[in-house]
């Protein structure tokens, strides 16, 4: 069940349903819409009420306002994908002080503002996976410049991936020329892609490391007529990148199963609210996903997936 208000609902026995609020970085883009699809599946399976809402512009201050409202409404769990951890930390801590369970998903927040982080894959696996994919697509002996087009400079997950990418790039013959921060804005990502294509004559590749910046960067390469000369790889949903994979602008798309990420998040939220998930737990049973590991306070979904022309049409998210 989904909702947007503080109205309480009951299950068939008349007991009040647990209410779980799921807050994405930005509402209305395919990445988070596919996460919501998995969250809906889990909510129906577990018999909880799911409230899904988020800013349409990625503004973390609006995220904080939504957390504050859900605290007033007295929901049971708030699941936050922070766009700027420090901006939302205060509201998250206030929710916890009010007795509400708070977890992060997709992107982590400050450790004192949440109990668990539902982590799609380790930062190292994602960062090194991006570099290895680019090297495989370009050829391991390729020399030249690459650039990273990220999201916001405050995005904790992108920053962690970048820190893992740097040493991996340092072992290659590629030079990281610059990092761009267009925010969660497609037109800004397109403009940044156009800028680096014109600025770096020896540009070999662009990493688009958000689900918005990757298609924007690919569009810039396609418009420049440099498809095949400047390769683009990064993180986005298969559906958003199929066009670019089939026309050769992109050879590989890196991601994880976003539907499963949303599904797991609701399972973690329910287990935490029901007292079934405690600090120090080593694993959690999550429905159709089976038993998954918990490393410290990170509930691990699994590993990255790589989509290419050979397999991308098999996926619909």
CA–CA distance, 157 with 212 (Å, rounded to integer):
14
Residue 12 has a pLDDT of 52
Q: Is 209 exposed, middle or buried (0-12, 13-18, 19+ CB in 10 A)?
A: buried
CA–CA distance, 213 with 147 (Å, rounded to integer):
12
4 φ, ψ (degrees, to nearest 5): -130, 0
Q: What is the DSSP letter of 309?
A: T
CA–CA distance, 232 with 154 (Å, rounded to integer):
23
pTM of the predicted structure, to 2 decimals: 0.90
Q: Is 136 left (phi over 0), alpha (psi -120 to 50) or beta?
A: alpha
Residue 13 has a pLDDT of 54
Residue 203 has a pLDDT of 98
As given in the structure block, the two tokens for residue 256 are 């994880």
Task: Judge whether 208 and 217 are in contact, CB under 8 Å.
Answer: yes
String of DSSP letters for 256-314 = --HHHHHHHHHHHHHHHHTT-S-TT--EEE-GGG-EEEEETTEEE----EEE-TTTGGG
Domains delineated in the chain: 2-119+257-301 (3.40.50.2300), 123-255 (3.40.50.2300)
Residue 16 has a pLDDT of 83
164 φ, ψ (degrees, to nearest 5): -80, -30
* Beta-bridge partners for 283: 293
The CA-atom distances, in angstroms, between 196 and each of 57, 152, 190, 221, 297 are 25, 18, 10, 10, 38
Tokens 């969660």, residue located: 184
Q: Is 257 helix (H, G, I), strand (E, B) or coil?
A: coil
* Beta-bridge partners for 105: 107, 118
Tens place of pLDDT per residue across the chain (317 aa): 344 444 455 555 567 899 999 999 999 999 999 999 999 999 999 999 999 999 999 999 999 999 999 999 999 999 999 999 999 999 999 999 999 999 999 999 999 999 999 999 999 999 999 999 999 999 999 999 999 999 999 999 999 999 999 999 999 999 999 999 999 999 999 999 999 999 999 999 999 999 999 999 999 999 999 999 999 999 999 999 999 999 999 999 999 999 999 999 999 999 999 999 999 999 999 999 999 999 999 999 999 999 999 999 999 99
Residue 2 has a pLDDT of 45
């Amino acid at each position: 069940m989904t909702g947007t208000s503080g109205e309480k609902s009951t299950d068939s026995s008349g007991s009040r349903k647990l209410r779980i609020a799921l807050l994405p970085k930005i509402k209305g883009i395919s990445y988070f819409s596919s996460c919501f699809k998995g969250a809906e599946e889990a909510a129906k399976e577990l018999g909880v009420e799911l409230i899904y809402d988020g800013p349409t512009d990625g503004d973390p201050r609006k995220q904080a306002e939504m957390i504050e409202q859900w605290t007033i409404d007295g929901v049971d769990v708030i699941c936050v994908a922070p766009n700027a951890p420090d901006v939302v930390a205060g509201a998250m801590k206030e929710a916890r002080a009010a007795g509400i369970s708070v977890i992060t998903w997709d992107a982590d927040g400050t450790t004192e503002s949440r109990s668990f982080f539902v982590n799609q894959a380790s930062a190292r696996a994602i960062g090194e996976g991006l570099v290895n994919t680019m090297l495989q697509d370009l050829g391991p002996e390729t020399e030249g410049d690459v650039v990273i087009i990220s999201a916001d400079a405050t995005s904790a997950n992108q920053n962690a991936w970048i820190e893992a990418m740097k040493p991996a790039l340092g072992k290659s013959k590629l030079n990281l020329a610059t990092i761009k921060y267009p925010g969660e804005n497609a037109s800004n990502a397109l403009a940044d892609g156009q800028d680096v294509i014109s600025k770096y004559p020896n540009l070999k590749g662009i990493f688009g490391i958000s689900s918005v910046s990757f298609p924007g960067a690919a569009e810039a390469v396609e418009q420049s007529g440099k498809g095949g000369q400047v390769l683009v790889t990064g993180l986005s949903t298969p559906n958003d990148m199929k066009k670019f994979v089939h026309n050769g602008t992109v050879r590989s798309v890196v991601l994880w199963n976003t539907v499963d990420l949303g599904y797991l998040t609701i399972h973690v939220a329910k287990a935490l609210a029901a007292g079934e998930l405690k600090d120090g737990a080593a694993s959690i049973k999550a429905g159709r996903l089976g038993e998954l590991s918990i490393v410290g306070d990170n509930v691990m979904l699994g590993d990255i997936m790589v989509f290419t022309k050979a397999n991308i049409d098999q996926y619909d998210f």
